[in-house]
């Protein structure tokens, strides 16, 4: 068995060596020619898994070390007998911590006190954000039509839009893919429902925000996930209304990364029919910056070197 792993996925050293040939590659090196004789791929969002990559290959299992999976052409995989898995909830706490830091820093930058928060998407991350916001004394308004069958009280999205802060925690889906598509959910129509100074936070997926509409609206915002990464909108980045900005690292914590790697390893073991559990290295000492103000420091770094988005992301020290 041959397994190709994105070299930037940590904690998988030696995990598969007893039963597979393991090749670690940079995401740009995971090409059709590289994967043609591979059985398993372990990737991140930087690898688009579709016919361009997979046609004619031996690949029969894909694990993405991410919550989102819109970079996987699931219809193609189903048609060609390729199993796949993602890692829902792996970095939920890290994203919640990011949102909390964004709230604290934004209040200071805007010289205000937030009293209410609208949470769009109340899955693994959104539920943690709701609990954090309640702990901080904010009025919480939640919108998630997918949870109605669970007895979840789903507030209208227009009510969530009227909060002091709106934060998105949904997958990215388009028309025809979902009953409730989220592509450009935060568009001109949604923004027109918001109060004039509502803070918009996108730490979910880039395409959820219509960035041109957001820029034209003049709403203050915090952006971690961008459309067309790594070629991000410098107009939005450099806008004075973009209070805080980062290079898609909201979920980048050591624990979150290890969680994702473990979930991927367990999935590969199950797919391969192994009855043992994978043994991953321990977390080790953290080298990342999690001191107060860490998000402001990242913002300054990105605004000073916007063309270094991908380099900054690759070299980000896990907090």
Q: In the annotation, is 115 catalytic?
A: no
Q: In the annotation, is 205 catalytic?
A: yes
Residues 6+ apart with CB under 8 A from 280: 11, 12, 15, 258, 261, 262, 265
Q: In the annotation, is 219 catalytic?
A: no
- 125 SS3 class: helix
Contact 154, 143 (CB under 8 A): yes
Burial state string for 277-300 with b = 16 or more CB within 10 A and e = fewer than 16: ebebeeeeeeeeeeeeebbbebbe
Q: Looking at 46, 143, 205, 258, which residue is catalytic?
A: 205
Q: Are strands 199-202 and 221-223 parallel, antiparallel or unpaired?
A: parallel
Q: Looking at 7, 24, 147, 229, which residue is catalytic?
A: 229
Q: Looking at 71, 169, 219, 248, which residue is catalytic?
A: 248
Q: Are strands 165-168 and 116-120 parallel, antiparallel or unpaired?
A: parallel
- 277 SS3 class: coil
- 15 SS3 class: coil
Active site residues: 205, 229, 248
């Amino acid at each position: 068995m041959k397994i190709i792993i994105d070299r930037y996925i940590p904690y998988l050293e030696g995990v598969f060596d007893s039963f597979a040939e393991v090749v670690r590659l940079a995401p740009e090196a995971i090409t059709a020619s590289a994967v043609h004789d591979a059985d398993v791929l372990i990737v991140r969002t930087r690898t688009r898994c579709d016919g361009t990559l997979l046609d004619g290959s031996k690949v029969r299992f894909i694990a993405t070390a991410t919550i989102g999976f819109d970079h996987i052409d699931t219809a193609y995989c189903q048609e060609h007998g390729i199993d796949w898995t993602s890692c829902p909830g792996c970095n939920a706490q890290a994203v919640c911590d990011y949102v909390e830091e964004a709230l604290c820093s934004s209040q200071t930058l805007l010289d205000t006190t937030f009293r209410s928060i609208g949470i769009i998407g109340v899955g693994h991350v959104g539920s943690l954000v709701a609990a954090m916001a309640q702990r901080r004394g904010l009025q919480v308004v939640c919108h998630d039509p997918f949870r109605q069958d669970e007895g979840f009280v789903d507030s209208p999205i227009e009510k969530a839009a009227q909060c002091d802060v709106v934060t998105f925690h949904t997958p990215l889906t388009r028309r025809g893919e979902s009953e409730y598509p989220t592509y450009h959910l935060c568009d001109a129509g949604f923004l027109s429902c918001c109060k004039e100074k509502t803070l918009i936070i996108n730490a979910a997926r880039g395409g959820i925000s219509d960035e041109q509409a957001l820029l034209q609206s003049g709403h203050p915002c915090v952006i971690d996930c961008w459309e067309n990464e790594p070629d991000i909108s410098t107009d939005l980045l450099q806008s004075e209304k973009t209070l805080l900005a980062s290079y898609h690292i909201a979920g980048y914590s050591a624990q979150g990364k290890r969680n994702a790697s473990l979930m991927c390893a367990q999935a590969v073991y199950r797919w391969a029919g192994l009855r043992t559990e994978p043994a991953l290295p321990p977390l080790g000492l953290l080298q990342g910056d999690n001191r107060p103000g860490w998000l402001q420091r990242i913002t300054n770094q990105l605004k000073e070197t916007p063309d270094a988005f991908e380099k900054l992301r690759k070299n980000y020290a896990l907090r």
